Structure 1
């Protein structure tokens, strides 16, 4: 299983358009980017590939990274930075199955699958397939399980992706606070690679109107506000799940420049063989 991190940034990416902060300036100096979130998973045994989330930076990502167009896709939730790149499917695919959760979200009165289907009903070559969380399904020769995470007010899902022949396992936390339910943690447990949402360092929680929550024994917030993990929260989740390797993704340009490109924060283009 080859995993390519196409997009490792938050909703504005790094560098952020029109921003001259030290972190964005350092990204330009280093020649690195964190575009909006997307992960490419290639099954080298079957020659098929799966795309997790459709970044608005889809075109740029596929023009700059040596990965094939996907044979299927998964949408974790309906925020634009994870979904709106699906419009790029126009004229690129003869057939593209897209998988998403079937649970109705009380906020939208639709499941993620229903929202994707409605929003992109004009893409007749895209077919949307509903799947129930916590129930594994096969796609691209891999076993995939959607798991509920905690990203209020919307329903959002993480993923476990396993190769049934080699046993290789990728887990994604999804956009989430540290409050990932126990049944989801059980599915995500013991990955070879964990991609964990860690939007900012915990030290910045004091600047959020809601502060932070899920404090550790030293009072350090594992959640920034209520929607995303801090760096410290992501690392705590990695320890909880006994992850062999962890990359922190969905990071914002609010990281101080001296911390923004240090381990284990990911940047676009990283490739992992599992």
Structure 2
């Protein structure tokens, strides 16, 4: 499968609109972007493609990276930067299967699937398919498993995508703290490629109103606040999952300029053949 990182940024992206920080200036100077999060997976055997999260930057991302329009999509949670791109399917697609978790969120009283179905009821092309976390399902010739992660106050999911014929595996943490449940970690383990969210470096944790959490043996926080991993947390998780290759995503422009584009921090447009 061919994996394209359409969007590797957080909710504001990098460069951030109206921002003149050194990191945003450097991104502009180098022509680098981190638009809102989205991943494109093409199954070259079947000619089908799967979209993981629908970024508000959908139109721009698809034009820029020249990838196929999706046959199916997965929505990990209902924050706008992962969901609102679905409106772009209007007049572009005759049909789009959208998969999302069926667990009721105590915060909203609805599952992610129910929220997507309600919010995009006007799109005839969209058919929402509720799926139970930790139970695999097939789409685009690939096996997908949604896994619960920790992104309070809303429910959120990571996922594993596997090619049943080649054994290639992509794991995505979703938006989460370091405290991913063990059964979810077991599903995510041993990927050829891990996309792990890492919103800021750990040394910025003291900038958060409640600081950092889940300190490692070295005392370095692996969670920023309550619902995102630090760079160090994401890398620790990658080691624990025995990822063959790791790219850090969902990155904020708060990374200092001297760190913002260093390995293994991803930028938009990266492609990987698994």
TM-score by length of 2: 1.00
**Separation in 2 of the partners of 1:256 and 1:103?**
38
Question: How far apart are 1:125 and its partner, in Å?
Answer: 1.1
For residues 52-97 of structure 1, the C-alpha deviation after alignment (integer angstroms, 9 at most, x for no partner) is 0000000100110021000000000000000000000100110101
Unaligned runs of 5+ in 2: none
SS in structure 2 at match of 1:259: helix
- Mapping of residues 148-227 of structure 1, within 5 Å: 148-227=148-227
Partner of 1:146: 146
For residues 218 and 164 of structure 1, what CA distance do their matches in structure 2 show?
A: 39
1:3 is matched with 3
Following TM superposition, by how much is the alpha carbon of 1:219 offset from its aligned partner in structure 2, in angstroms? Answer: 0.8
CA shift, 1:152, in A, is 0.4
2:272 aligns to what? 272
| 1:192 CA drift (Å) | 0.1
1:129 maps to what in 2?
129
Q: Deviations over 1:34-58 (max 9, x none)?
A: 0000000000000000000000000
Q: Which residue of 2 aligns with 1:231?
A: 231
Q: Runs of at least 4 residues of structure 1 off by over 4 A?
A: none
Once residues 30 and 158 of structure 2 are traced to their aligned partners in structure 1, the CA distance between those partners, rounded to angstroms, is 31
- The aligned residue for residue 243 of structure 1 is 243
Give the secondary structure class of the aligned counterpart of 1:195. Answer: strand
CA distance in 1, matches of 2:260, 2:182: 30
Any residues of structure 2 matched to 1:14-93 within 5 Å, and which?
14-93=14-93
Q: Is 1:262 matched up with 2:262?
A: yes
CA distance in 1, matches of 2:98, 2:119: 13
Alpha-carbon offset, residue 27 of structure 1: 0.2
- Distance of 1:242 and 1:151 partners within structure 2: 23
**How well do the aligned residues superpose, as a CA RMSD in angstroms?**
0.3
Structure 1 residue 124: deviation in Å? 1.0
2:115 aligns to what? 115
SS at match of 1:88: helix
Q: Deviations over 1:94-113 (max 9, x none)?
A: 01010000000000000000
**Structure 1 residue 25: Cα displacement:** 0.2
Distance (whole Å) between structure 2 residues aligned to residue 218 and residue 267 of structure 1 = 29
User: What is the CA distance between 1:271 and its match in structure 2?
Assistant: 0.0
Unpaired segments of 5 or more residues in structure 1?
none
TM-score (norm 1): 1.00
In structure 2, C-alpha distance between the alignment counterparts of 1:125 and 1:190, rounded to whole Å: 35
